[in-house]
Amino acid sequence: MNKIKIFSDGAVIDDIIAANQSDTIQGITTNPTLMAKAGIKNYLDFCKDALKIVKHKSFSLEVFSDEPNEIERQARLLSNLANNVYVKIPIVNSVGRSTLDSITKLSSEGIKINVTAVFTFTQIKDITTALNKKVPSYISIFAGRIADAGQDPEPFIRFCAENKNKNHEIIWASPREVFNVLQAQRSGAEIITATPDIIKKIKNFGKDLHEYSIETSKMFYDDAIKSKFNI
């Protein structure tokens, strides 16, 4: 089993600096929702500033439009910012229309695409035929949200692994817990995106569970004493 690559997911500049300096993290992703939560006011300025920090690791930046011409314009602009940019394009727009035509066109131009918001087997199959086989690209399957809907995400990852081109990598997106790293790896994903809080927990892999039990009990005890609780 190959070791999975960890991509940091976020839009806080301090976290991006830390991710760029970390040997554990091989890439960075963000999206408009994360940028809005981080208080970003100027989208393009943020992208340019972030790329001054991250010059060598993969960096995924997302378009936001429902119109094919505007999706394509934004994608070309973002791609031209730096050679390490992958352009995130949702597989459907906000009203459910497929973006496959734009993805096919942009991929044929040599733009590295990160097809995002992928949820279904049909979408996966369509993407694997739409992407230029010679151009590195990502397929971001939103495994965490698939699990939130009560379905096992691993068959979706395996299906993609069986059908994709070797130049295309699968991202296990929207993880919910650190165990998702192992699930992603065993089902065939090459990459998992993770928020800083999940990344911090990866260091616990292989930890002795008896020691973990003691640490947990001590945490409860210490917090009770600090709070001066009594019964």
Angle at 100 between CA 132 and CA 109, to 5 degrees: 40
Pairing of strands 191-194, 58-62: unpaired
d(CA 79, CA 217): 50
Structure tokens at 191: 């990459």
Structure tokens at 184: 């992603």
Residue from 5, 41, 57, 88 carrying the catalytic annotation: 88
For residue 57, give Cα distances in angstroms to 40, 173, 224.
Answer: 22, 18, 44
d(CA 109, CA 124): 21
> How does DSSP classify residue 76?
H
Establish whether 88 is a catalytic residue.
yes
The DSSP H or E segment spanning 87 is strand 85-90
- List, by residue number, the catalytic residues: 88
